Amino acid sequence: MVEFNILGIGILSWMIFLPVLGMLVIIFIPKAYENSIKYFSLIFTFLLIVLSVVLLLNYNSSMPGVNMPDSFQFREKVSWIDVPIPAVVGEGKIHIDYFLGLDGISLPMIILTALISFVGSIASFSIKRNEKGYYVLYLFLVTGMMGVFCSLDLFLFFVFWEIMLLPMYFLIGIWGGERREYAAIKFFLYTLFGSVFILIAMIALYFSSKDPATGLHTFNMITLMNPAAIIPGSILGGIGTSFRYLAFVALFIGFAIKVPMFPFHTWLPDAHVEAPTAISVILAGVLLKMGSYGIMRVSYPIFPDGAVYFMYPLAILACINIIYGALCAMAQKDFKKLIAYSSISHMGYVMLGIASNTNVGFNGAIFQMFNHGTITAVLFLSVGVIYDRAHTRGLNDFGGLANKMPKYFAVIIVAFFASIGLPGLSAFISESFVFLGGFKNETIRIITIVSTLGIILNAAYILWTIQRLFFGKLPEKWNQLTDINGRELWSTVPLLVIIVVLGIFPSLFINLMTSSVNQLVNFIWHLN
Amino acid sequence: MQLKQTLDSLNNFLPETTIIITLLVCIIADIILNKKSPITSLIAIAGLLIASYFVSLQIGIKTSIFSGMIVVDPYSVFFKFLFILSTIFVIIFAYASKEMKNSGHKNEHVYLMLSLTLGAFLMSSSINFLMMYLSLELVSLSSYILAGYTKKVKRSSEAAMKYVIYGAASSGIMIYAMSLLYGFTGSMNIFEIGRFLTSNSAGSNPIMIISIVMITAGFGYKISSVPFHFWTPDVYEGSPIPITAFLAVTSSASGFAVLIRFFSTTFLKSYEAINGNWQIIDGVKWTEILIVISVASMIIGNFVAIWQTSLKRLLAYSSIAQTGYILLGLVVANQAGLQAMFVYLIAYLFMNLGAFYATIMISNKLNSDNMEDMKGLGYRSPFVCVSMTIFMFALSGIPATAGFVGKFYLFSALIEQRMLWLALIGLLNSVVSLFFYVKVVKYMFLMRPDTGSTSKIQYGFGNYVVLLLLAVPTIFFGIYFTPLLRIAEASISMFGIK
């Protein structure tokens, strides 16, 4: 469906700005009713899920999108800024659109965002201090994330990309753990540092482009993908020029910090460990995907020459991520930090899939983004469960929890096995697709083979963690621990269901994106 | 003939005349009325509003008056509106400030501010060295007195003294350079100087580079750019905060007004911008000089600001850094850069005045502007602190604020001219600046208040209104910046340039 309006407003705008509506509602809730704030947040995030189901039902998976403006679905395009600038002959106009649309690459991310936001909302119930501020910022964060995944105008994309930092800074900085101030500012500065490079590349693209239809410079991503829209002789003109490679690298640095890729990953363990549970869930579940999404949405189709040129270094970085992340995870004594490093490792799979430049690899990468989102969300929620009860996350402080907390054990074991990539669970499919893709590409075949080492390391630290937490003798002091409660089950079980169902019927998901992925791969190789 | 010309000129001099009359009325009113009366301030604001009406009549006019001393053009009209707006705000600030109330003065600050505004008006429109110098001195003299306004406070007197000494030295250097140029070219009029340099191809004469550097000292001191910035932190810290805000916005904008006009018109080859690019006379190297100054201002301003604990000093160094950013728009030497500067100046007006006003409100209650005392303030006066947060993020250039739009256009102009390195330096600087702007936010929200100071702080309704008047445009222009661009676009036309 090309357009879909509710009350005259496009459905994607609803998805982006519904949380803002929620913010306003929460801000104006009178003091006497402040206890109900969390339910409002729950309602508004649930509405996002409803909307994303509507999207799914109306989505036509045969329309590829990517670089074809007419096959994007649920499009909305409104002129935002439109001003003539003086004296610059011919292109004397500044034009920015409010331009939204969905294709097979962004749809999975939208669904993931809605899902994780809702789960995070449930997990936020344990926040007791200053709830009003917390939920206002939380919903603002959701707006930023939705905006990034829906935008098709680079300027709009950038604005959402940046404003999402503000709520994140406060959410980590106010409601976080002991070293929250340090973690918050580190996260903020790292990402802003990356944004600088995105901004430069973005402005350079603007001045190198000329929309064939209007004759103006443009921020429209889809137009920028069209080689005919790049002015020959401009900064980023031509194919495979050094400035184009530089711009690709600039964009990559900006996105890689978010993924996070080695060597830009050091903000992640700090941010994860200090953030409250719900925010860790959002961070791992959605935020990291913004980086890899940015690479697939912006870097690759706009600079297909760079995508192929940098295939090898990208694969090496991905390989380092996989193995280094797994080794670091193995060395951790803190449960949350372990999951944080395992995220680095798993995002390495995503990057390997992206670096492979093959249909299978891309499918695997997007599917892995989604799976990592759901699995890591369950894992962080599980860390929250144990931390809320025991007020420690030290892996060596526990043992024998399997008998004490059987339901908890059941939940976490599914997530752990999914994380290892056990057949029958969703991550198995995505990881094998990634490796298939990597193997298919001769340039990076060797690196792919090396990367498979990650699977073993991954299994090693997960199994070791299970052993340390759940087997052996239960220390005396944990005799009072209670099993996972209803609310916590509500936040984890739906995700587990998704993990299992997608493990058995991956085609449900993969069919959504196949045509877009094919289009992207063809487009990249067509131009090289 | 002469008389008729003067009378015609007076017609185009109505805004300035209005301010002079308002100034006189204020003095008389202040003599008659008792000390605490807000009426003087109200008269001043009314006078400024009338002046703004007369300025609005000048929209679209492009002419020179008083035999080529000053001009009326869209460029000066833009700055006049800017000065009026910021002066009105600052008069309100002064009324709200406890520091000013306790100074033991009547309302002298009001007419000193008016005289400074008058000087700023003239600075933005002068095209003659003599007029430039005189108006700059009018601004300076008014600001010396304002800086020492709370004369019983030792710091304030010290600040004023330092200010006078630096000011005297730099304007002395400047007028020497002007006399050099006059001796060299035989004219005080910037257009005639340009014509002389073009026809004699004298642009690369060493005397040019010497006098440009020395003139930059005079203007650079007004806009507080490195290396002429040494007075700024002390004066900003020593003066009462409303005065600081006034110096940081009106006085430095007036410096920009004269600086931009001087550089962009004097050294033009053909008085015509080709494709928007200015044709600079061969051999005149003013852009290189300004690049050095701009980069130095950004780096020193931002890095020194990191170590500050006093909010006022922090804002002082941030102003130095902001000066560096604004100058970036001039070094690209084209119309797009000029437009970007204008966008930035409007944004700067709102966000900087806002930051200062929030500081006034905070220090009114805490009797301190030290950030250590602001721990957990966000929970005690959420409204003020949220606004402060908005201004801080705007100053650091986070999207959806006017500050981002300003920076975006500045860096766009640079990148379009392929000055990628300069853009990168500027942008990395804004990452550094985020660190100390966020520090303010950190003290307000991330840190828990010390025990014993957790009670809510109440402010009058009027305070919130003024804060909103500054915070709302900061956000609004960040989201919908068409008006900013249109204003900037309409204002870049200068007298004498096609």
Q: What is the ipTM of this complex?
A: 0.91
Mean pLDDT of chain B: 89
Instruction: Report the distance separating Cα A339 and Cα A326, nearest Å.
Output: 10
Does residue A396 lie in a domain region?
yes
Does residue A103 lie in a domain region?
no
Facing residue for A82 by CB, picked from B400, B435, B482: B482
> How many percent of chain A have pLDDT more than 70?
97
How near does any CA of chain A get to the CA of B442, in Å? 8
Does residue B202 lie in a domain region?
no
Residue A89 has pLDDT above 70, yes or no: no
- β-strand partners of B370: B310
Does residue A73 lie in a domain region?
no
Across the interface, whether the CB atoms of A83 and B276 are under 8 A apart is answered no
Domains of chain A: total: 1
Facing residue for B442 by CB, picked from A85, A89, A181: A181
Does residue B116 lie in a domain region?
no
Does residue A146 lie in a domain region?
no
Q: Phi and psi for A500 in degrees, rounded to 5?
A: -70, -45
Facing residue for A181 by CB, picked from B420, B446, B485: B446
Instruction: Report the distance separating Cα A256 and Cα A247, nearest Å.
Output: 14
- β-strand partners of A5: A10
How near does any CA of chain B get to the CA of A90, in Å? 9
Across the interface, whether the CB atoms of A199 and B427 are under 8 A apart is answered yes
Does residue A4 lie in a domain region?
no
Domain holding B370, by residue range, is: 307-498
> Which of A166, A186, A206, A218 is the best substitution to test chain B (most B C-beta atoms within 10 A)?
A166
A184: which chain B residues are within 8 Å (Cβ-Cβ)?
A: 446
pLDDT band for position B453 (50/70/90)? low
Does residue B457 lie in a domain region?
yes
Does residue B483 lie in a domain region?
yes
Nearest CA in chain A to B410: A203
A200: which chain B residues are within 8 Å (Cβ-Cβ)?
A: 411, 415, 420, 423-424, 427
Instruction: Report the distance separating Cα A206 and Cα A217, nearest Å.
Output: 6
Facing residue for B485 by CB, picked from A83, A166, A200: A83
* Residue A289 Cα to chain centre, angstroms: 2
How near does any CA of chain A get to the CA of B312, in Å? 22
Does residue A95 lie in a domain region?
no
Instruction: Report the distance separating Cα A229 and Cα A215, nearest Å.
Output: 9
The CA-based angle A214-A217-A222, given to 5 degrees, is 80
Give the pLDDT confidence score for residue A90 in this predicted structure: 40
Residue A86 has pLDDT above 60, yes or no: no
A174: which chain B residues are within 8 Å (Cβ-Cβ)?
A: 445-446
- Judged by DSSP in three states, A97 sits in strand
Across the interface, whether the CB atoms of B412 and A193 are under 8 A apart is answered no
Does residue B189 lie in a domain region?
no
Does residue A106 lie in a domain region?
no
Q: Which of A143-157, A201-215, A444-458, B425-439 has the lowest mean pLDDT?
A: A201-215
> Which of A31, A81, A85 is the best substitution to test chain B (most B C-beta atoms within 10 A)?
A85
Domains of chain B: total: 1
B446: which chain A residues are within 8 Å (Cβ-Cβ)?
A: 170, 173-174, 180-181, 184
Taking only the tens place, the pLDDT of each residue in B3-28 is 888 888 888 899 999 999 999 999 89
Across the interface, whether the CB atoms of B492 and A86 are under 8 A apart is answered yes
B443: which chain A residues are within 8 Å (Cβ-Cβ)?
A: none
Please compute the mean of the pLDDT values over residues A477-482 and round it to a whole number: 80
Does residue B486 lie in a domain region?
yes
Give the pLDDT confidence score for residue A351 in this predicted structure: 92
Please compute the mean of the pLDDT values over residues A327-345 and round it to a whole number: 90
Give the pLDDT confidence score for residue B158 in this predicted structure: 85
Question: For residues A270-296, b (16+ Cβ closer than 10 Å) or e, as one string?
Answer: bbbbbbbbbbbbbbbbbbbbbbbbbbb
Across the interface, whether the CB atoms of B339 and A86 are under 8 A apart is answered yes
Does residue A134 lie in a domain region?
no
Facing residue for B400 by CB, picked from A81, A163, A169: A163
Facing residue for B434 by CB, picked from A81, A87, A192: A192
Does residue B467 lie in a domain region?
yes
Domain holding A344, by residue range, is: 310-528
Taking only the tens place, the pLDDT of each residue in B134-156 is 999 999 999 999 988 887 788 88
Say which residue, B325 or A484, is predicted with more confidence: B325
Contact B413, B336 (CB under 8 A): yes
